[in-house]
Structure 1
C-alpha cells in the first residue's frame, strides 16, 4: 500500500495540502474540499506562499507588507481586504489563518507537501508493496534470474502506471487553462475620473473612449492620438458614450442622450472635430444607454440596444446603413431588464449579448445571424459590462466573478483565465490574439449618508464611510436601540454588516460570488430579510443563522415585511416567466401566491393599505385588503416604479425617485409632487424611517484605459 510521509516544505514543492485543500504552487490554483478549482490572484498567491513558508509562526502586519508588497506604501484596508479575500477563497473562517488581535496572523492546522505518488492510492496491492516498513515475505535467499527479470518488469510497469495516474490526476486538478505567466499592463490614458469602453481604430492610430469626470458630470467622448497622446473632447450632447470606429479609420459612431432621447450618431473625420461633420444615424430609445454598439466590417449593418421606456426591456436591433432598413433581432421577456453588451464577431456572422433576467442573474447568448438561431452559452451572477469576440471568433472575452480576464469557448462552453491581476479590470476589448484594451480601476465607491426631514435646508451628512463600497442601508429604532444594517465589501466580498452608532459587526461570511440587496428589518428588529443571488434569505441576529427560501436558482424581488409582523413577508417571484406576488410565512416556510404581473409592493403601515407597481404599467395601484385584486390606480401614472428601494409609503404620502431627484406627494393629490430638497440630487435608492432618510452617496473613483499584452 502507499503511504504519504510528512516532509519538510521546500520552495520547490508544487502540491501542498492545507487542512484538506490542495494548493498547486506552480500554477497558483487551489482545489477546495468540494473539488472546486480556484485561480488565486498573484497578490493572494504571494500571501499564501508566505504563510506556508512560515507556517505556525506569527507574522506581523509589517512583516507581511515587507514580504508581499515589497515595502511599498500600503493602506491597512488593502492588507485587510487581501487577507479577507484569501480566507474566502480558502473557504475558511479561522481554521487556516488565525488572527492574533493587534499582533499579527498565523497559518495553523495541517500543512504538508504532497509527494507525486499520492495519486497512486487507487492501485491495489496485488503486485508490489511500496511501503518501506512492510515486512519482507520472501526468504533471504538469492533469487533466480527469471524471478529477478519478472520483478524488474513488474517494477517498471508499476512505475509507468504511477506516472500515468499522476498526470491524469494532475490534469483533473488543473482543468482550467493556466493564465499566461508574464502578462503586462500599460496605462494609455491619464484623465481624472473614470475612463471605459475603449475603441481602437483599425490602423491602431486612434483611441476613442468614454469619460466621466465625477459623479455629477455627464458622459463625454474623448479621442486620443495613440502616438502623441494628444486628446480631443467631442462635444455634441450632455451624455455621450459607446464609441466604435468604422473600418475606414475616419468615421466614429457613438451614442448620445439628450431631452429623453437616445440617438446613435457618427462623426467624420473624427480626428479633426473642427473640420468634421456630425449626423444622426438612428434612434436608440427613450432611456440613457451606455451599451456598446457594433458595425459590420463592410460598413453595412449597425447593431445596437434599444429601450423604448423605463418599463420596457432592452432589445437588440440592427440598421442597414445603405437601405436604412431596421430589424429587431432579440425578443426578451417583458419581465426582464433585457439584452445589451453586444459584440459582433469579426466574420460578421455571430452576435454575442448579455440578457439580464434579474439583478444577479445574467445570461450570455450568441445569435447566429444568418440562420437566426439564438443559443444560451452560460449563466452568471455578477455584472458583465462588455463582451468581446476573440480574433478566432470561437471565444468571448469577459471579466469573471473573481475579476479575472477570462474567455469562454462558445463551442465547448469551457472557460479559461487570460489574466489574473490585483487590479480591477472592466470593459475588455480584443485587439488581436495577444492584445486587449480594458478599463483598469474602480468605477465608483458608495457610502451611506443621512438626511433629516426636520432640517430640509441642510445637506445630507455622512453616516457610514470607508474606502470600500457601503450601500443599501436600512434602519431599525425602538426606545432602547438604533441599529443600521448595510452591505459592504470592506472585508473582501460583499457581506451584511451592522452598525449601532459606535461599533461595526460583520453578520455574514459569504465566499465570493454573492450579490446581496434589498435589506429589511422585521417589526421587532430581530430578523433581517435580504436577497442573496436573488434568493430570499432571512438572517436571525440572535442565532446568527441564515435561512434561504425556495430552491437555488429561484428569483425573488423586492421583499418587505408585512406591517407589524416579524413572521410574514410579501415579495415578488419569477414563476413561469411571470413576476408573481407571494406571501411568505417565515416560520412555516409556506408560500401563498397572490397576484400576477407585480414588480414591487409597499405597505403604508399608518393607514393599513398596500400598494403595488406593475410590470407593464406606470404608476402604483392600491390592493384590496385580502390582496386578491387591485382596487384603484394608477396613481402617478407617468412614473415607473420598478424597485422597492425607489419608493416608500407613509401616512398617505408617497416618497419616490424621479430623474435622480427625491420627490414626495400626497396620494390624495398625486399631481403635485415636489422635490424634498435641492440637496438631494443624483439619488439612485433610499430607505426611510420616521424623519430620517438614508441615501447611497456615490463617488467616482478613478480608472484608466490600459493596454494588456498576454
Structure 2
C-alpha cells in the first residue's frame, strides 16, 4: 500500500491524496487528472515530457475530449500563479511536450513493505510486539485520515439582513467586498440593493422598482445584470408581473449606482419567451436559460452582432438549472432525462459535453425536486440547494449534505476567495380564505405584505403553508393541502375544524389535489406517485410508467389528467380509471387543465391559456388571451379569472369573452383555487420571510 504522495513546488504543497494544492492564500481543490499531469512533470523535473507520454500515463488510452492536456496545463498555471507568456514553472515545448522548470521537494512517501523492512534489528525479541503495535497504530491513523470520507460542514452562520421586507437573488462582488440583492417593495416588485460587508452600508441601486430576478455581478465587477419582466406595451411599470409578455436582460453601472440610484440599460431586448439566470461572459456575451412552451435550453447571446444561439439543448434532457465557472471555462448544467433522473452535464465553452453523470439521490430527497447549482471554490464540485437543504455535489453526481442541516436555505452564492457563501434563507406562509364572490367594491388594497393582518379572514390558520383548496362536489367539505405536520398532507375542513385525511411517509410533497365528480374521492400526486383517497382515508396507489408531477384535472367521470417531466418537456397524460391505462396526449408544457364535454383548456408556466377540441388530433391550440391561467376556475360553464390589468375578479364565457367585472382582489390574495355557488376559495400570502445569511463552509474529515 503506497502512502499519499506529497511534494512542494515553488512554495506550493501538492497533496495527491486530497487533490489539493496549498499556498499562501490557502488551499484549493484541483481535479485529480490535473494533478496527475503535475505529478508526472514533477517526477521528471527539468526534463521534457512528451505529449504522448503524458496521455499514455495519465489517461491510459481512455477517450478524452480535444485539448484536454492543454486545459490541464492552463489549469495548473492558474493554480500555481504561472504565466504562459513568461513561464517560471511550466515550460511549453511546441509540438513536443512540457517541462517543469524548478526542482521538487518530496515529502517522505514510503510503502508499507518498506516500513516493515526498515524496522531495526534490535526490535526483534522483547521489542517485537511493541514495534508491531506502533506500526498498527500508524496504519490506523492513516486509514482514519485518508480513508474516512470527507464531510461537508457548516461551521458558522451570520445574519446579514433582518428587515420586514424580504430579500432574494443575492451574490458577491468579485472582490467579496459587496453583495447585491433584490429587496421587495410591493406585490412582486423589488429594488436592487448593494451592501458593503465591511461597513454595513446599504445603497439602493435601481431608480425604479420592477419585476427583477437573477441579480448578480459581471465577472469584472463593473456592472450588475438581472432579468426584468414587464408588459412590452407599457412604458410605466404599473401592473402585476403576471401580465408581462416581455423578458429582457438589463444592467446597472455599479459605481454610478452606488452614488445614486440609476436607470437600467437594456442588454438583451424584449423577448416573448421566458429567460432566466443570465451570466455575463467575456466579449460582450451572455449565457441564459430560455423557455418556450415548457421546453428549456442553454443559450448564448452576442451583444455585438445581436445574435442568439443554442449552446446546449439536447432533446433527451429537460434542463432546469446551470452555472458557469470562469476559472475552469466550463458550464455545469442539470436537468431531467426521460426516466426523471437528474443528469449533471459538464460542458466546455463551445457546448461540448466533457462528462455527464446521473445524480445519485438520497432517500430523503424527493424524486422530482429540482436543484439550484453553483460552482464552489473547490473547482471540482458544486454547491446544490434542494428543498431547503444545502448539498455538496461532486462532478460525478455524488451528493452529501452540509451539516448541521439548515432546512430553510433557498439559494447560495460562493465567496470569490474564501470558504464563505452568501445565502437566502426563509419560508413562505400561505393560507386559504373562503370569500363571497359578490361584495362591496370599496375594500382597501394593501401596498405591501402585512405580517400581522390577513388580506381576508383565513380558515384552518397555521404558520405553515396551506394551498390547493377545493370545494367538495355534492357536499359541504373543503379539501386542502397543509404542511402543518412537517409534511404535505390532505386535510378536510367541515366548517368548524380541520381533520387530517392522509398519512403519507416523511418528506411527502403534494403540488395540488382534485375531487372526483361525485365528491367521494380525492386524487393527488405525492412524491411522483398517483394516489386516490376516499373520505375514510383509505389510499389506493396507481403505478404509472413515469414519475408524475401533479394531477392537472379530473376529466369527465373516469379519466384523470396528470403531468410528468418527459424529455425536455412537461408531458400531459390521461388515465382511464377503469383500465388503469395511461395515454400520453399530444400537448407539451401543460401546468393546469379545465374541461367541458367537447373542449380541453390548458395553461402553460407563464399563465397563458389555450384550448383544443376533444378528441385531440393534429389541430393547433387556440390562445385565450383574456384568461389568466395562474388564477382561473371553470364553474357552471363560466370562467372566473383574476384580471392582472384591472386587478379585478372577472367572469368570462367559454369563448374567453368578458361577461363582467365582479370585484377587486387584494394584492396578496388573488390566486383563485375554486368557485362554488356564491363563494370562492383564495390562496393568500400571509408572510414571506426571506433574509440574507452568510455561511462558513468546510469540506474535510
TM-score under structure 1 normalisation?
A: 0.64
Give the C-alpha shift of residue 186 in structure 1: 0.7
1:286 to 261, 272, 276: 272
* Superposition map of 1:144-543 within 5 A: 177-180=150-153, 183-213=155-185, 216-233=187-204, 234-259=206-231, 260=244, 261-268=246-253, 269-270=255-256, 272-274=258-260, 278-283=264-269, 285-286=271-272, 291-296=276-281, 298=282, 300-307=284-291, 311=293, 313-320=295-302, 325-331=307-313, 339-355=319-335, 364-370=344-350, 372-373=352-353, 375=356, 377-378=358-359, 381=367, 383-384=369-370, 386-401=372-387, 403-410=388-395, 412-422=396-406, 424-431=408-415, 432=417, 434-442=419-427, 444-455=428-439, 457=441, 460-476=456-472, 478=474, 481-542=475-536
Give the C-alpha shift of residue 505 in structure 1: 2.3
RMSD of Structure 2 on Structure 1 (CA): 4.1
Q: Give the distance between the partners of 2:461 and 2:261, measured in 1 at CA.
A: 48
Q: What SS does the aligned partner of 1:293 have?
A: strand
1:705 to 687, 692, 695: 692
Q: Give the distance between the partners of 2:207 and 2:406, measured in 1 at CA.
A: 35
Q: Give the distance between the partners of 1:570 and 1:247, measured in 2 at CA.
A: 46
Q: Give the distance between the partners of 1:578 and 1:425, measured in 2 at CA.
A: 27
Residue 539 (structure 2) aligns with: 545
Q: Give the distance between the partners of 1:613 and 1:183, measured in 2 at CA.
A: 48
Q: What SS does the aligned partner of 1:327 have?
A: strand
Cα gap change, 1:355 to 1:579, in 2 (>3 Å) = closer
Give the C-alpha shift of residue 257 in structure 1: 2.8
Q: Give the distance between the partners of 1:277 and 1:648, measured in 2 at CA.
A: 39
Q: Would you say 1:561 and 2:562 are equivalent positions?
A: no
Give the C-alpha shift of residue 270 in structure 1: 4.6
Q: Give the distance between the partners of 1:615 and 1:425, measured in 2 at CA.
A: 28
Give the C-alpha shift of residue 665 in structure 1: 4.3
Q: Give the distance between the partners of 1:467 and 1:425, measured in 2 at CA.
A: 18
Q: Deviations over 1:311-336 (max 9, x none)?
A: 454443223456655332232669x9
Give the C-alpha shift of residue 467 in structure 1: 0.5
TM-score under structure 2 normalisation?
A: 0.65
Q: Give the distance between the partners of 1:210 and 1:356, measured in 2 at CA.
A: 29
Q: What SS does the aligned partner of 1:352 have?
A: strand
Q: Would you say 1:679 and 2:676 are equivalent positions?
A: no
Task: Note if contact 1:346-1:393 (Cα within 8 Å) is conserved in structure 2.
Answer: no
Q: Give the distance between the partners of 1:293 and 1:205, measured in 2 at CA.
A: 22
Q: Give the distance between the partners of 1:342 and 1:579, measured in 2 at CA.
A: 19
Give the C-alpha shift of residue 512 in structure 1: 4.0
Give the C-alpha shift of residue 365 in structure 1: 4.1
Q: What SS does the aligned partner of 1:272 have?
A: helix
Task: Note if contact 2:319-2:333 (Cα within 8 Å) is conserved in structure 1.
Answer: yes
Q: Give the distance between the partners of 1:692 and 1:458, measured in 2 at CA.
A: 18
Give the C-alpha shift of residue 406 in structure 1: 0.9
Residue 692 (structure 1) aligns with: 679
Cα gap change, 1:475 to 1:316, in 2 (>3 Å) = same
Give the C-alpha shift of residue 635 in structure 1: 6.3
1:611 to 600, 611, 625: 600
Give the C-alpha shift of residue 198 in structure 1: 1.6
Residue 649 (structure 1) aligns with: 634
Give the C-alpha shift of residue 529 in structure 1: 0.3
Give the C-alpha shift of residue 497 in structure 1: 1.7
Task: Note if contact 2:548-2:562 (Cα within 8 Å) is conserved in structure 1.
Answer: no
Give the C-alpha shift of residue 184 in structure 1: 0.5
Q: Would you say 1:584 and 2:572 are equivalent positions?
A: no
Q: Give the distance between the partners of 2:161 and 2:431, measured in 1 at CA.
A: 27
Residue 113 (structure 1) aligns with: none
Cα gap change, 1:416 to 1:690, in 2 (>3 Å) = same
Q: Give the distance between the partners of 1:484 and 1:638, measured in 2 at CA.
A: 29
Task: Note if contact 1:646-1:685 (Cα within 8 Å) is conserved in structure 2.
Answer: yes
Q: Give the distance between the partners of 1:506 and 1:212, measured in 2 at CA.
A: 35
Give the C-alpha shift of residue 469 in structure 1: 0.5
Work out which structure has the larger RCO, using CA pairs closer than 8 Å and 6 or more positions apart in sequence: 2
Q: Give the distance between the partners of 1:577 and 1:315, measured in 2 at CA.
A: 8
Q: Give the distance between the partners of 1:329 and 1:371, measured in 2 at CA.
A: 5
Q: Give the distance between the partners of 1:325 and 1:416, measured in 2 at CA.
A: 40
Aligned pairs, how many? 525
Task: Note if contact 1:483-1:501 (Cα within 8 Å) is conserved in structure 2.
Answer: yes
Cα gap change, 1:205 to 1:303, in 2 (>3 Å) = same
Cα gap change, 1:192 to 1:550, in 2 (>3 Å) = same
Residue 105 (structure 1) aligns with: none
Q: Give the distance between the partners of 2:549 and 2:216, measured in 1 at CA.
A: 37
Residue 41 (structure 2) aligns with: none
Give the C-alpha shift of residue 571 in structure 1: 4.2
- Contiguous gaps of at least 5 residues in structure 1: 1-152
